[in-house]
Amino acid sequence: MTEPSETTGDLLVPIFFMGKRYNVPASLTIQKALEYAGYQHIRGCGCRGGVCGACGTVYRIPDSYKLQVGLACQTVVQSGMHLMIMPYYPGNRSIFDIEKMSGTGGEIAALYPEIYKCIGCNACSQGCPMDIDVMHYMAQAIRGDVPGVAETSFDCIMCGLCASRCPAEEVQFNVAILARRLNARHRIPRAKHLEERVKEVTDGKFEQPLRDLMSRSTEELKELYRSRESEPQMTEDDWVPLNARYV
């Protein structure tokens, strides 16, 4: 079944893309293997680095009935694998106005009442290419634990594989981002220094110092650059510069 490729010198193995056989080098990811086979991806290809969720893939290897999942850009081909890339999932998404909300669990349930239909089968967690415990955060959502959902789901890339495997027709990834946004906006304290600094900028505190810099010659700027104080690497936020004129 295997023979070396003329271009890579690598062993070729058969894969079945949507049922159709291609012989591809054994060391390639699914994404690159399909390109080797002649595909120029339009859908199902995004960052090529495992963070964007464009290339969620379902596959099965020979002699197993089990469906496995991965990202096409991160999963290396295996001999005889059958696979399908799922570039889109038509999941429900509710519209909301984050300004008018307060970050309670009830708000999640109001927008996504179907969370209560979760039957705890764990197909979602098994279907997550980021190894997120999806079923756990759905349980947290049912309990109204907004910070819990936010923390558990933090790495979610919204590929939609969880929803595709769900017998209860949940749209876990949209529940998760709602919870993360509610948590960050309403549950975690706002940064006071940001507020204060924005006000200073609006009040024109840095207008003159900046305009002064903008009128300097390159040589003068270089001198100012060279002589600027540097905050030490290992100190915490309490460090104070010697020259506090412009801060």
Partner 1 sequence: MPYPEPLKKLIEKVEATRPARVERKLKEEEFPPLKLEERDPVLRNFHPDFIEGTRREIKVGPSKGYAISNEIVDLLEARSRVNPYLVSLSKPDYETDVLVIGAGGAGTAAAILAAENGAKVLIATKLRHGDANTMMAEGGIQAADKVGKDSPYYHYLDILGGGHFLNDPELVYTMVQNAPDAVKWLEGLGTSFSKFEDGRMKTMHGGGTCRKRMHYAADITGAEIMKTIRDEARNHTDMIEVIEFCPAVELVLDDNGRCAGAVLYNLETAEYHYVKAKAVIIATGGSGRLHIQNFMTTNHYGATADGIVMAYRAGVPISFLHTVQYHPTGVVFPEQAEGILITEKFRGAGANVLNIHGEQFVYEREPRDVEAACIIRECSPKGRGNGVPTPTGKFGVWLDSPMIELLKGEGTVRKEFPGKHILFRRFGIDISKEPMLIHPTLHYQNGGLDINSKCETNVPGLYAAGEVSGGVHGENRLMGNSLLDVIVFGRIAGEQAAEYASKHTESGYANLDHVKRYNEELETAGIEGERIAPMILPDYSNPEVREKQLTKDYFGTLS
Binders of partner 1 among residues 16 to 75 (CB under 8 A) are 27-29, 32, 35-43, 45-52, 54, 74
- Please select the residue that binds partner 1; options are 9, 100, 189, 203, rule is CB under 8 A: 189
Sheet with 20-25: list strands edge to edge. Answer: 20-25, 12-17, 82-85, 56-60, 68-71
- Please select the residue that binds partner 1; options are 62, 92, 120, 239, rule is CB under 8 A: 239
* Beta strands 68-71; 82-85: pairing state: unpaired
| C-beta of 88 vs 116, nearer to partner 1 | 88
Q: Are 100 and 93 in contact (CB under 8 A)?
A: no
| C-beta of 3 vs 131, nearer to partner 1 | 131
Q: Which stretch binds partner 1 (CB under 8 A): 57-65, 86-94, 115-123, 162-170?
A: 86-94
And the tokens for 222? Answer: 């270089």
| C-beta of 167 vs 190, nearer to partner 1 | 190
- Please select the residue that binds partner 1; options are 11, 137, 198, 203, rule is CB under 8 A: 198
| C-beta of 26 vs 118, nearer to partner 1 | 26
**Per-residue interface string for the shown chain with partner 1, residues 146-185, x marking contact by CB under 8 A:** ----x---xx-xx------------------xx-xxxxxx
| C-beta of 115 vs 158, nearer to partner 1 | 158
Rounded to 5°, angle at Cα 57 from 55 and 58 = 165
User: Per CB under 8 A, does 247 bind partner 1?
Assistant: yes
Shortest separation between residue 156's beta carbon and partner 1, angstroms: 8
Q: Which stretch binds partner 1 (CB under 8 A): 57-65, 135-143, 160-168, 197-205?
A: 197-205
Q: Which of residues 108-137 bind partner 1 (CB under 8 A)?
A: 130-131
Rounded to 5°, angle at Cα 177 from 143 and 189 = 75
DSSP E strands, 61-194? 68-71, 82-85
Handedness of CA 64, 65, 71, 72 (dihedral sign): positive
With CA atoms as reference, report the closest residue to 144 among 115, 121, 186, 118: 115
Handedness of CA 138, 55, 83, 92 (dihedral sign): positive
Q: At 9, which amino acid appears?
A: G
Shortest separation between residue 181's beta carbon and partner 1, angstroms: 3
